[in-house]
Structure 1
Amino acid sequence: MAERIVVLLAALALVAGCGGPVAGTARPVQLGDGERAKFKEYYERVNKAGDEGASQQAKLLKDTQHPDFRQKTCDLRGATIKVEPTWTTLRADADWTPAGEKSHPSGAVYVVAVTITIRQKDQIIGSQIGSMHVVLLDDEVYGFAPCLGG
């Protein structure tokens, strides 16, 4: 069990983008209400799916995986994540590429500070503050599998 928790916490660290600092200068993004609502809805859907169970959240994360990186999915091993963004930190991050990748994602890339809590069934097994990347592409919001370093 301890080994499983270590693996899940390592996945959480990668989700949070804790592999290093985020490049660039933090400047609030000037998004319209429609775009900002799409980002908020994305995280609400992720959290709602997690409330419904690990398989529902895994399906949603797979379905909303950025199209350029569909083959890069991860197994959270029955755990779920809850993501609480700090919206005042949302900013563009045009130079970002997922960890271990050479190509930049299609679309407009944004980063936001988040608090991520990972649960195994009804038990919290970790919480961390970090950053997550999301992309607005063809009027849809896409994310990245937790193992890609969010």
Structure 2
Amino acid sequence: MAERIAVLLISLALLAGCGGPVAGTAKPVQLTDGDRAKFKEFYERLNKAGDEGASQQQKLLKDTQHPDFRQKSCDLRGATIKVEPTWSTLRMDADWAPPGEKAHPRGHVYVVAVTVTLRQEDQAIGSQIGSMHVVMLDDEVYGFAPCLGG
């Protein structure tokens, strides 16, 4: 059991970006109210799916994976995540590419500070503060599998 928790916490650390500060200068993002609502809805849907269970959240993570990275996914091993963004930190991150990738994802890439809580059977087993990347592509919001480092 301890080994499983350790693996899940490592996945959580990867999800939250687990590196140092994100490079670049923070500047307020000039998003329309509609675009901002789409980002908020993305995280609300992710958390709601987690409340409904691991299989629901895993399906949503797969369905909302950036189209260029659909072949890359990871198994949270029955755990769920709860993501709480700090919206005042939302900014564009035009130079970012997922770890191990050379190409910038298609679309407009944004980064936001988040608190991510890993849950197993409705019990919080770890929490991490970091950053997550999301992309606005063709008027849709996409994310990246937790194992891609957000």
* Alignment partners' CA distance in 2, 1:34 and 1:141: 12
The Cα of 1:21 is off from its aligned counterpart by 2.3
Where does the alignment leave 5 or more consecutive residues of structure 2 unmatched? none
Shift of 1:76: 0.2
- Tell whether 2:147 aligns with 1:147: yes
| RMSD between aligned residues | 0.6
Matched to 2:57, the amino acid is Q
Using structure 1 for the length normalisation, give the TM-score. Answer: 0.98
Match of 1:13 in 2: 13
Note the alpha carbon deviations across 1:32-78, whole angstroms, 9 max, x for none.
10000000000000000000000000000000000010011000000
Is the partner of 1:43 in helix, strand or coil? helix
- Asked if the contact 1:66–1:144 (Cα under 8 Å) also holds between the matched residues in 2, the reply is yes
Aligned mates of 1:100, 1:21 — CA distance in 2: 18
Q: Say whether the 8 Å CA contact 1:135–1:142 is kept in structure 2.
A: yes
Aligned to 1:50: 50
Deviation beyond 4 Å, 4+ runs, structure 1: none
Q: Give me the TM-score of the superposition, normalised by structure 2.
A: 0.98
The corresponding residue for 1:111 is: 111
Residue of structure 1 equivalent to 2:96? 96
How far apart, CA to CA, are the structure 2 residues paired with 1:97 and 1:124?
30
Report the counterpart of residue 41 of structure 1 in structure 2: 41
Residue in 2 aligned with 1:83?
83
Give the letter aligned to residue 125 of structure 1.
I
Report if aligned partners of 1:94, 1:108 keep a CA contact under 8 Å in 2: yes
Q: Deviations over 1:64-113 (max 9, x none)?
A: 00001001100000000000000000000000000111111000000000
Alignment correspondent of 1:2:
2
Residue ranges of structure 1 left out of the alignment (5+ in a row)? none
